[in-house]
Amino acid sequence: MHSNGISTDTYALCGSITASSSLRNVEFGKQIHSHVAKSGWISSVFVGSALIDLYAKSSLIADAAVMFDEIPLKNSVCANALLSGFCEAKLWIEGLELVRKMPGLNLDYDHFTLSAMLRACTGLSAIDLGRQVHGYLIRKVYNLADDVFLQSSLVEMYGKCGLVMKALQVFNFAGMRWGGEKRRDVVLWTSMLGVYGRNGHFEEGILLFEEMLKEGIEPDEVAFVTVISACGHTGQIQLGLEYFDCMSRVYKLIPGPEHCSCVVDLLCRAGEVERAVKVVNEMLGEGRNKCSVSLWVALLSACSDGGNVELGEYAAKRALELDPQNVGVYVQLSNLYARLEMWDEIGQLRDTMKQRGLKKDSGLSWIQVTS
């Protein structure tokens, strides 16, 4: 269109930018950006928001922030686009700072803002602020029960802070108002399922999954990861395998590496290492190439827990053949050696990692203590 000399307008520009965003083609988006800068449409808040979104989704958060600053007449939409970029990048403090600046810029909080704030609270385990946002929602948002995004953000926030009953209360409230209507979608159900899982309530999680099926909600890939993992924790091998099987048979979903490793983990937890190896081989035989690394890693992880050196080393070798840069494999193998006090082997492993220029990230965690 442009090369034919036809002038573009903001509608066409927004369309092209969102298209390059969904195709994950940042380069094309950047080209449009420089074109926009010359055309004079750069001050359009519509075009600006689309560009912020493109940069934020391409992990170019600094570029997104610059774009935001350059929009002369800002509105909530462009602020929210940057805000969700911060949350996506786990820059929760930066996100909350932006939220604090919004009133001064004459920007109102809407559902998008509040849902992103809750995500930041979840990331920071900031229960006090999270409660304040919930209070604000109850007071100011009359149609809270209509918004599954806000509901699931609340469920996640309470769950992350360990308040399982509060999460359940929100989840039940979301279902209550609509009686027979299916207002709770699969993501909201999965959020609650995940809260149970992360807090060790695996039995309840499995029951909730069954309840979801009874309500006629179609489970997705994420729901299956969570429920198969829950089965692993309760030792319900048969049930876990049935879920794995019905994923493709009944729901026509293609199991990914994460499902395969859940199944391996489930079998190994139950001490069925032989059977796990058999499953790995079967899966590889079926040509699930994408699964192969994670299958060996899952097997290695299980061997690490059980102190099975021989099989662990074999699994590590196979995993590294496929992905030599995988630091996780070295860490797992090192854990296995440490468990059995095989210090010489750990030394060798460190040397190998150094030679290959690999480094393990150090861990970090924090919580807020409820006052």
By CB atoms closer than 10 A (0-12, 13-18, 19+), residue 38 is exposed
Residues 36-55 that bind DNA (CB under 7 A): 44-47, 49-50, 53
Q: How far is CA 22 from CA 44, 56, 346, 348, in A?
A: 21, 12, 44, 45
Question: Closest distance between DNA and the C-beta of residue 250, in Å?
Answer: 18
* Position among 26, 206, 297, 300 found at the interface with DNA (CB under 7 A): 297
The least distance separating DNA from the CB of residue 91, rounded to whole angstroms, comes to: 13
- 119-155: buried (b, 16+ CB within 10 Å) or exposed (e) per residue? bbbbbbbbbebbbebbeebeeebeebbebbbbbbbbb
Q: Is 220 in the site for DNA (CB under 7 A)?
A: yes
Q: Give the residue, chosen from 265, 312, 320, 334, that forms a contact with DNA under the rule CB under 7 A.
A: 265
Q: Is 253 exposed, middle or buried (0-12, 13-18, 19+ CB in 10 A)?
A: middle
Specify the stretch interacting with DNA by CB under 7 A; choose among 272-280, 295-303, 307-315, 336-344: 295-303
Q: Does 81 bind DNA (CB under 7 A)?
A: yes
Residue of 53, 50, 124, 59 lying closest to 83 (CA atoms): 53
Minimum Å gap between C-beta 201 and DNA is 13
Q: Which of 111, 166, 201, 318 binds DNA (CB under 7 A)?
A: 111
76 binds DNA (CB under 7 A): yes
Q: Which region among 96-104, 110-118, 244-252, 272-280 touches DNA (by CB under 7 A)? A: 110-118
Helices (H), 144-291: 148-160, 164-176, 186-198, 202-214, 221-234, 237-249, 257-269, 273-285
Smallest gap from residue 236 Cβ to DNA (A): 13
Scan residues 329-358 and list those touching DNA (CB under 7 A): none
Contact 137, 144 (CB under 8 A): yes
Choice between 289 and 348, CB closer to DNA: 289
Among 89, 149, 272, 323, indicate the residue that binds DNA (CB under 7 A): 149
Distance CA 305, CA 170 (A): 37
Establish if 29 lies at the interface with DNA (CB under 7 A). Answer: no
Pick the piece of the chain touching DNA (CB under 7 A) from 222-230, 239-247, 278-286, 338-346: 222-230
Of 288, 250, 115, 210, which Cα lies nearest the Cα of 263?
288
Q: Residue 191 CB, nearest distance to DNA (Å)?
A: 5
Tell me if 209 sits within 8 A of 223, measured CB to CB: yes
Q: Which is nearer to DNA, 114 or 277 (CB)?
A: 114
Residue 14 binds DNA, judged by CB under 7 A: yes
**Interatomic CA distance for residues 236 and 232, integer angstroms:** 6
Single out the segment in contact with DNA by CB under 7 A; choices: 61-69, 247-255, 260-268, 340-348. Answer: 260-268
The torsion angles phi and psi of 44, rounded to 5 degrees, stand at -70, 130
Does residue 268 contact residue 275 with C-beta atoms inside 8 Å?
Answer: no
Nearest-approach distance from CB 351 to DNA, in angstroms: 25
Interaction of residue 221 with DNA, rule CB under 7 A: yes
Q: In angstroms, rounded to a whole number, what is the distance separating the alpha carbons of residues 188 and 219?
A: 11
What distance in Å separates the CA atoms of residue 14 and residue 295, rounded to the nearest whole number?
A: 42
Is residue 288 a contact residue for DNA (CB under 7 A)? no
List residues near DNA by CB under 7 A.
9-11, 13-15, 18, 21, 44-47, 49-50, 53, 57, 75-78, 80-81, 84, 87-88, 110-116, 119, 147-153, 156, 185-188, 190-191, 194, 197-198, 220-223, 225-226, 229, 232-233, 257-258, 261-262, 265, 294, 297-298, 301, 328
